[in-house]
Structure 1
């Protein structure tokens, strides 16, 4: 398997940017120099992440998210992701 990450990745299986194989390997995200563990989606080239807004969900059961803009770094952890 390749060690290059896509420019955009999502944890939602309904998204066209979902990649189960990469998510199982574990993907680390650093946003503005701080490692984040609650990232739902990211885009490196556009410089944003989408994080869950607490435990709130919409009427379809999807988590509510906030879009945060800034420098994004991503790497493969090579450890099985928890959950």
Structure 2
């Protein structure tokens, strides 16, 4: 696997942009220079993130999200944690 996270990644296993290997490795997101921990999906080339909104879920059990535009900086979390 490369040291660059995918351009488009989703936490939802039903999405075509779901990548279990990348998620298991641990992907961190900086959005507009601020670390975000509630990112459900992102796209670097289109400059957007989809953030979960609180604990609310839709009728299918998926988290409610909002899409925001701005600079997206994904990175792999390589802090030496044994998992």
TM-score > 0.5 by shorter chain: yes
Which structure 2 segments of 5+ residues have no match? Answer: none
When the two structures are aligned, how many residues end up with a matched partner? 81
Q: What corresponds to 1:11 in structure 2?
A: 11
The 3-state SS of whatever aligns with 2:54 is strand
Q: Following superposition, which runs of at least 4 residues in structure 1 exceed 3 angstroms of deviation?
A: none
Q: Distance in 1 between matches of 2:41 and 2:18?
A: 9
Q: Distance in 1 between matches of 2:78 and 2:51?
A: 22
Q: What corresponds to 1:42 in structure 2?
A: 42
Q: Distance in 2 between matches of 1:68 and 1:26?
A: 22
TM-score normalised according to structure 2 size: 0.91
Which structure 1 segments of 5+ residues have no match? Answer: none
TM-score normalised according to structure 1 size: 0.91
Q: What corresponds to 2:76 in structure 1?
A: 76
Q: What corresponds to 2:26 in structure 1?
A: 26
1:8-62 C-alpha deviation (Å, 9 max, x unpaired):
0000000000000110110010000000001000000111000001111111111
1:45-81 C-alpha deviation (Å, 9 max, x unpaired):
111000001111111111100001100001111356x
